[in-house]
Amino acid sequence: MGCATVSLGPAATSAASPRSAVHGGGTGDAGGTETSLFSALDAKIEAAMRAYAIPGAAVGVLLDGQEYVKGYGITNVDHPVPVDGDTVFRVGSTTKTFTGTTMMRLVERGEVELDAPVRRYLPDFAVADPYASAQVTVRQLLNHSAGWLGDDYQAFGPGDDALARFVASMARLPQLTVPGEVFAYNNAALCVAGRIIEVVTGTAYEAAVRKLVIDPLGLHRSRFFSDEIVGFNVAASHNVVDGKAVLEPSFWPQPRSLAPTGGLISSVRDQLSWARFHLGGGTAPDGTRLLSRQSLEEMRSRPGPGGTLVVELDGMGVTWMLRPTAQGPRIVQHGGTWPGQISGFVMVPSRGFALTLLTNSEGGTRLRDELFTDDWALSRFAGVTNLPATAKALSGQELAPYEGRYMAQRINDKGAVEDAVIELARHDGRLRGTQTVQHSTRDPGVATDQEDAVEDQTSEVGVAFYREDFALDLDPDGRPIGTRSDFVRGPDGKVAWWRNHGRLHRHQMP
């Protein structure tokens, strides 16, 4: 496309928020601790931007009621403008927490019951499995235990009927597990939740969220449509090519049918206000009560089935990832991934801590993992860490039940099926193998037709176990990359799935 490239030098930064005096929560002199904490955070972000080709980023920290907001770098390598706390990015899947919060408002108004079947609100709802269609509940949509194939990214145009058409198309989605029994990240289920919001409120999903959540909270830099952000400072999307950030305008658009699962555009200052609301008493800045404290707590309690989603999870609450720590306090987390727009969002309610990060590059994945998956920020700001995990070398006999082929599917925006095929075999006490992504025109759930499957890409994968069924993910050189995955057993006790990045890959024994 003729896009210019740039090698990132030292990141330019905007001034911090006037409310940047944050209690550090460490030992020693408080002022010195604050300075040290945020100097270290700035240095880590700036170093990562240079290392991972991230043109721009914005960070927000909330601790003990005080805020720290800062922008780094530029919005666009071709037309550089400094990033600040009001620059808008796509926040990706953190949008799900807006969907969940809007649903909780309807629950408090008596218009929705979380444990009611979806068909109470959508009588014609159907996936491929009749039992799941009739029995799945609203809560199971929101805690990612609905059980059907969840990575469905079909586009149905820009009209107000996009979400209704998407949900109607789900009748072909195969069921992987019984509703309520297994956690598997499910974008399509959140679209169903969005459609329920539409039907109950009698308005489009985006308008309902604006009316019930965004506008009352004064989130003036949070919108769903690109034509609503004209005049805002917008962070453009970038790919990384040969270690350099390259502007990629094709990354920005997102199907309207996916709005409830990842359509929000927002600023880091608004995201920090979102954290303040969820850590507070449920009131808007003007004192209007939007949710009871009980509802806020319910969103981050009563976890559904657990497992892994990059980190270990107790399970999902109402759209929040609920994450255990070695010290006991629970981490409440989300984040988002859209091409060229990588974000993170984490809270530790018992410590009054929240951290949010927005980036405008594919390289942002690396920085997000360093700040939100590892212990770096959590230990410094909130005094908590991940559950311990030390890789072990297992015998061939111990590894044998996990060997074999694993397959997962996704549906792209054109409705075509893509298969991820992973072959895992024992190697030096661990599992190593390859992942191949294939495109197909067939329906999901149908066995691969070799004539219409086209190989797209192949990469190396590996895991090292640290306890039964739970493993550290490895890079091609066999080094841990900081994320975790786990293996799920079926009713017969045999390994039935590998859950990687929250997605279920079906096990086929060698």
Rounded CA gap, 264 and 94, in Å? 8
Q: Which of 113, 118, 186, 108 is nearest to 147 (CA)?
A: 186
Selected catalytic residue, list 7, 39, 93, 222 = 93
Run of H or E including 365 = helix 364-368
Q: Which of 12, 156, 173 is nearest to 80 (CA)?
A: 12
Distances, alpha carbon 80 to alpha carbons 4, 58, 87, in Å: 12, 15, 13
Rounded CA gap, 173 and 168, in Å? 11
Residue 250 falls in the annotated catalytic set:
no
Cα-Cα-Cα-Cα dihedral of 148, 250, 76, 49, to 10°?
Answer: 40
Rounded CA gap, 144 and 141, in Å? 6
Ranges assigned E (strand) in 349-479? 353-359, 404-411, 417-427, 430-440, 454-467, 470-474
Vertex 332, ends 480 and 336: CA angle to 5°? 65
Q: What is the largest CA-CA distance in the chain?
A: 68
Q: Mind giving me the DSSP string for 70-125? A: EEEEBS-SSS--B--TT-EEE-GGGHHHHHHHHHHHHHHTTS--TTSBGGGT-TT-
User: For residue 413, what are its two tokens?
Assistant: 């925006």
Distances, alpha carbon 107 to alpha carbons 45, 113, 206, in Å: 40, 6, 18
8 A C-beta contact, residue 58 and residue 272: no
Rounded CA gap, 169 and 156, in Å? 10
* Residue appearing with tokens 């015998």: 395
Indicate the DSSP class of residue 223. Answer: B
Would you name the residues annotated as active-site residues?
93
